[in-house]
Amino acid sequence: MNLHSPISHTEVANKRGTIIHVGQQWCDNSPTRDPIRHFTIESIEETYGHHTAICRITHGIDRATGVQVLIDRVVNIDIDRLHPIRTGYRRVTPEADPS
């Protein structure tokens, strides 16, 4: 086993207590980013105790026209950025009912 290889997770909590798990859909919350990217968390990796969400950007929404723009790209996002703040991200899919 390589001690420097990332460890894969399906669910983790970030430093703000937000639960992040594979399959969640998020989008940009920045007032300046255009288009507004929408992405799905495909995996979560941990390297040296640091968690990163591996996300597939599925599309964007043009701010001026509201038209959906096709984007197909994979990005890595620090899970501590996945929290609904002005310059961060917001979850698009609601949490499932725990009952």
Residue 99 lies in a domain: no
Residue 2 lies in a domain: no
Residue 71 lies in a domain: yes
| Consecutive H or E run containing 27 | strand 25-28
Residue 25 lies in a domain: yes
Residue 18 lies in a domain: yes
Q: Looking at the 3D structure of the chain, how many domains does it have?
A: 1
Residue 97 lies in a domain: no
Query: Domain limits at 16?
Result: 7-91
Predicted confidence (pLDDT) at residue 4 exceeds the cutoff of 60: no
Whether residue 82 contacts residue 15, with contact meaning beta carbons closer than 8 Å, is answered with no
Residue 48 lies in a domain: yes
Q: What is the pLDDT of residue 49?
A: 86
29/87: higher pLDDT:
29
Listed in sequence order, the residues at least 6 apart from 31 whose beta carbon sits closer than 8 Å to its beta carbon are 86
